[in-house]
Chain A
Amino acid sequence: MASPLLDRHLHLKAIDTFIDPVQPRERAIITHGHADHARSGHGAVLATPDTIAIMKTRYGEACAGSFQPVEYGEPVSIDDVRITLHPAGHVLGSAQVLIEHRGQRVVVTGDYKRLPDRTAAPFELVPCDLLVTEATFGLPVFQHPAPSDEIARLVRSLEANPDRAHLIGAYALGKAQRVISLLREGGHDAPIYLHGALLRLCALYEERGIPLGDLRPATGVAKPELAGRVVIAPPSALKDRWSRRLPDPVLAMASGWMSVKQRARQRGVELPLIISDHADWNELRETIADTGAETIWVTHGREDALVYHCRQQGLVAEPLNIQGYEEGEEDER
C-alpha cells in the first residue's frame, strides 16, 4: 500500500519535497493559492505562474525563499523524478501534480472540479497508478446542480426585489470571481460592488486575463444606490456590521454546503446558491474510475464515505487524515 515515492504526509522522499505542506519546508510544490494549501515561509516553491502571483498578492513578494514557475504540461525533472502540473479546474492557477518515477505514476489532485469555469483552466484527466484525491464533498448527499440554474435563481430574486441589495457571501479567491463571471455569462452587466477584502484578487484575475466587467468598491457608495445591486463580500461579513450599509439586503451565499438547508438556516442565509469549486460525489467517483488508479488515498474532507466506496469497487483505499486541512466546513477552500 505504501508508495516508495510518496508518503502519507505527501512527502516525496527521493527529492525531499512536500506537496502543500502545512509547516514551513525547504522545498514545496503548491497546488493552488488557498490558505490551507499555500502557506508562507517555505524555502523553494514550485507552482504555476498564476499560483505564484496569487501567493505574492496574498502574502507578499518575500513569502518564500525562491519561486520556480512551471506551466501546465511542462515536465520538470529532479534527479530521476519527473514532475508535471496539470489543470485542476478549481481556481485560477490550480494544478494537479503528476509525479513519475521508474514507471510509477502518482497524481495528487489538490482541490479540483470538472464543471466548466471561465476563471480556471479546465480540469485534465491524468491516468495514474496511485491517486491522492480530495473529498471535500465526499458524501452522496452532495450532488451539485448546474451553476447556471443557481445564477438564474439569483437573477430571479434580483428582479423580484428591486428595492433590496443582494449580498453574496463568497470566498475571496476563486468563488467571488466565479460568481461574477457566471453572472456576466448570464447576461447581468450592471456594476457589481465589492467588499474591500475582494478588491486585490479581483484585480489580479483581470490582470491575468480574466474579464470580470464593471466592478466597484462598495465602500463609500450611498445606501439607496445599492438597491437592486449585487454586492459580494467574504462570508464572514454577511452578518457583520459591514452589511448594515446595504439597503435591506437579501443574504445569499455561494457554496457547495448550501445544498443542506439546515446549514443555510444556521447561517441566516435566505438565498442559498449551490455553487461549488469542488467535485461533487458523482464527479469524485467518476474521476477515481477514469484515472484507472488501483490505489486511492483520500484526504481533505469527508474521507470515510469515499474510502468505503472505493473499497466496494475493489480498490485499495486509505484515508490520510492530514491535520491542518480545512478544519471547519465554514472554509470551503
Chain B
Amino acid sequence: MKAFAQLLELLALTPSRNRKIAALAEYFAKTPDPDRGYALAVLTGALSFRNVKPAKLKEIVLGEVDPHLFALSYDYVGDLGETIALIWPHHGGTEELPSLTDLIELFNTTSKGELPRLISSLLTRAEINERWAVVKLATGALRIGVSARLAKTALAEMSGKDLQAIEEVWHGLRIPYAELFTWLEDRGERPDIDHAARFHPMMLSNPIDEARDLEKLDPADFSAEWKWDGIRVQLVAARGNVSLFSRTGDDIGPAFPDVVEAMMGDAVLDGELLVGADFAPGPFNDLQQRLNRKVASPKHLKDLPAFVRVYDMLFDGSEDIRALEWTERRARLEAFFTRHRQTRLDLSEVLDFGDWPTLAEHRRRGADEHGHEGVMVKLRTSPYVPGRPKGLWYKWKRDPNLVDAILMYAQRGHGKRSSFYSDFTFGVWKGNEIVPIGKAYFGFTDAELKQLDKWVRTHTLQAFGPVREVEKSLVFEVAFDSAQESARHKSGVALRFPRINRIRWDKPAGEAATLEEMQVFIGAT
C-alpha cells in the first residue's frame, strides 16, 4: 500500500506528463502481481468496489472531531477527502496497512454496517500519505488525472511494446491483468483475443474551426452526415453473439434487447443509438429514460423502441477493414445492408453538397427544422483510427442557443478548482421571482474564474456548506444545445450542455430572460 500511496501522491503533484508516465512505468515494473494489476484497474477506473459516500465518511470523522473545528478546517482546505485525511486524530497503529489487493478484497467483503469501523481502523493505521490514499480509495474517487491512455502509454514504456498492440488486446483483458503482464514481460504469448468479438476503441472527431479550417479544406475531399443527438455506440456481432457497447466500452446490451436481438449478420458497426418508432428519433430525453435502466422494461420496449443509425463499419464479418478508406468501408456497409435485412438498424444519410456554403445551409436548416446537433464532415480517404486523430473527421456543430440568466448560487469546484467557487446555478424570471434553470461549471477562462470567485465572496447572502447563495445581480450569457421540459426542475425546464458563453458584467439583472421566453426553445428538438 505504501508504494501505491507514493505513486498516487506523485501523480497528483507532478505536472509533467512524461514524469507521470515514468512513475507509472516504474511502479508497474517493480510491483508484484496481482497488486500492480489492481492498481492499473483502480487508476483507469476499470474497477468498482464497495465504497462509501463522502457524506458517510464525513459522518465517521465527525464521530471523532468537533464539528465546528471540522467546518473551519474544511473551509480552509477546500477538499473534503483531503480534510478528512489531514484531520484524522488517531495515528500509530502497529500493523502496516494491507496490500492494495487485500484492501480491495476487504472493501468488497465487509458489510455496509461494518464499513465505518474498517475505515476508522485503516485511517488510524495509515501513515500520513497513505491516509490520503485510503480516503481516495474508500470513496472510489481517485480523480488524479490518469487516463486509461496514460496508463497504457506507461505499460508500453515499461515493456517496449507498441502502444497500438496494447490497445488492441485491452478490451479482452480481465482484472488483475496477469496475462497482460506476462506478455509485456516476455514471459508468455500475447493474450489471445477474438478480434471480431470485442469492443474496439472508437474514432472521434475534432471540432471544426470555421474561420481557419474551411478555407484550407477542399469540399470535394469530404463527405458529410447529420450529427444525431443520441449516444455513439458500437455493435459487435460475431457468430450469433451480439453486444452493444457505449463509447467507453461499457456493455449496454441488456438495456437494449430490441436492438441486440434484431441485429442480422456478423460485423462490427459504429453508429448512433436513438429512440423512436419507424426510425424517427424522438427527443434525447426518451433515450435518457432507457439509459437510466440497466435492463429494459416491457413498457419501455413498447413505447420507446430503440434503433441504431449506422455511420461506419470496422469489421465486415470477421475481416478487419479499419485500414480501408472511408469510401470503401461505406461501400462495404451498404452491401452489408443489402445482404442482411435490418429492422432496428438504418444507414446514416450521406448529405449532398458541392461547397461549404451549401453544407452550412444544410447545417442551419437541419438544426432549426429537425433539431440536428450539426453535421459530421469526414475525409473520404480516412482510415478508421481509434482516438481523436487530427485532420480526418470534423464535427461542425449547430450554433448554440443563448439565454441571459442570473447567477443564483455558487459552489466550490473539485480538484484543481477546489479553492474557487466554480459551479454556478443560474435562473430566469418567473414573474417577480427567479427560478433556477441549470448549472454550469465551464465556459470561462482562469482569469474570469478568479474574478467570479471574488465576486461570489463579496456578494454572498448566505452559505450552506460549500454552497453560497449570492445577490441576484450578475448576468451570464448561457449557451446550450437544447431545452426540454423537466418535472424535476422547479422552473419546468432543463438545458442540455449548458455552459457560460459570456459574463455580462454590464447587464442589469432586470434585463435577463423570462421563463416564457424559454418556451420557444422547448420542442425545437
Contact = CB atoms under 8 A, between A and B. Distances in A.
B12 interface: yes
Interface string A301-333: 010110011001000000000000000000000
B65 A262 contact: no
A266 B15 CA distance: 11
Contact of A260 (B15, B68, B77, B127): B77
18 contacts: A139-B69, A139-B73, A140-B69, A141-B76, A141-B77, A141-B87, A143-B86, A143-B89, A145-B128, A262-B79, A262-B82, A262-B418, A265-B12, A266-B419, A270-B14, A274-B128, A305-B69, A308-B69
A302 B76 CA distance: 10
B69 A261 contact: no
B66 interface: yes
B179 interface: no
A247 interface: no
Query: 6 tightest A-B contacts by CB?
Result: A141-B86, A141-B73, A305-B72, A141-B87, A139-B73, A140-B87
B62 to A, nearest CB: 12
A234 interface: no
A312 B66 contact: yes
Interface string A133-144: 000000111110
Nearest to B26: A160
Interface string A230-273: 00000000000000000000000000000111101110111110
B13 interface: yes
Contacts of B65: 140
Contact of A139 (B9, B76, B128): B76
Contacts of A270: 10, 13-15, 19
A290 to B, nearest CB: 19
Question: How many A residues touch the partner, as a band?
Answer: 20 to 34
Given A145-B127, A265-B12, 17 more contacts: A139-B72, A139-B73, A141-B73, A259-B86, A260-B86, A262-B77, A262-B82, A262-B418, A265-B13, A269-B13, A270-B10, A270-B14, A272-B13, A274-B128, A302-B72, A302-B76, A309-B66
B83 interface: yes
Interface string A4-33: 000000000000000000000000000000
Interface residues of B, number: 30
B77 A265 contact: no
A262 B68 contact: no
Contacts of B89: 140, 143
B417 to A, nearest CB: 10
A304 B69 CA distance: 9
Contacts, number: 66
Contacts of A312: 66
Most B CB within 10 A of own CB, among A143, A262, A264, A304: A262
A95 to B, nearest CB: 29
Nearest to B79: A262
A178 B213 CA distance: 58
A227 to B, nearest CB: 16
Contact of A305 (B73, B132, B416, B419): B73
B281 interface: no
B271 interface: no
Nearest to B416: A265
Interface string B6-22: 00011011110001000
B13 A309 contact: no
Most A CB within 10 A of own CB, among B69, B127, B419: B69
Contacts of A145: 127-128
A54 B13 CA distance: 36
A262 B419 contact: yes
Contacts of A305: 69, 72-73
A275 to B, nearest CB: 13
Contacts of B127: 145
B371 interface: no
B86 to A, nearest CB: 4
B82 A260 contact: yes
B78 interface: yes
Given A139-B76, A141-B76, A264 B13 contact: yes
Contacts of B128: 143, 145, 259, 274
B466 to A, nearest CB: 14
Contacts of B132: 261
A312 B73 CA distance: 17
A268 B16 CA distance: 10
B322 to A, nearest CB: 40
Interface string A118-154: 0000000000000000000001111101000000000
A145 B86 CA distance: 11
Contacts of B79: 262
B255 to A, nearest CB: 39
Most B CB within 10 A of own CB, among A140, A260, A266, A302: A140
Contacts of A259: 86, 128
A169 B89 CA distance: 29
A225 to B, nearest CB: 23
A119 to B, nearest CB: 24
A145 B91 CA distance: 11
Interface string B223-262: 0000000000000000000000000000000000000000
Interface in B76-131: 76-79, 82-83, 86-87, 89, 91, 127-128
Given A305-B69, A308-B69, A312-B66, A262 B78 contact: yes
